[in-house]
Amino acid sequence: MLSKKITAALNAQIAQEAAASSAYLAMASWCDREGLGNCAQFFYAQSDEERMHMLKIVHYVNEMDGHAIVPAVEQPETEFESVQKVFKKSYKQEKAVTASINELMSLSQEEKDHSTMVFLQWYVAEQREEEAMVRDILDKIKLIGDGPQSLYYIDKELQQINENRPAEEAEA
């Protein structure tokens, strides 16, 4: 059984994952509108992944005799200055989720909730991978630059990442 503090913290994480899913969906839509199909595909997949992360926590809370609360989600940002800004926002979001997962892990240790600590270990590893992937994309965007043809090359880079993604997720 989960303590009230752990249940509240997990419900807050559910809300954060839902907000991240919504934000990625908005980023995907923006990329679609800007003709960046591969970037859009990347963010659609990110949105799906964040929703899956949320659902895993919902199932865990309910399985542990808690009560998972489905949150209302605020309207995410829908307009961006550039694809570079979209990925910078994505990186900032991933760092915030990582910090939240780390706080949850610390709380689980304080509460001596070993089951939740084990459950959260997957999220710790997942967030390390997510941050590294987005940071790598940002590094590539920096190398490509922001000249007139940069959007084409950025979108091509994302095509490669999208093609490699299913193989990486199958290994997880």
Binding residues: 17, 50, 53, 94, 127
Contact 74, 16 (CB under 8 A): no
**DSSP single-letter state for residue 35:** T
37-63 vs 150-171: helix crossing angle, rounded to 10: 30
| 3-class secondary-structure state, position 36 | coil
Q: Are 120 and 61 in contact (CB under 8 A)?
A: no
Instruction: Cite the annotated binding site for Fe cation by residue number.
Output: 17, 50, 53, 94, 127
DSSP for 67-112? Answer: ---PPP-PPPP---S-HHHHHHHHHHHHHHHHHHHHHHHHHHHHTT
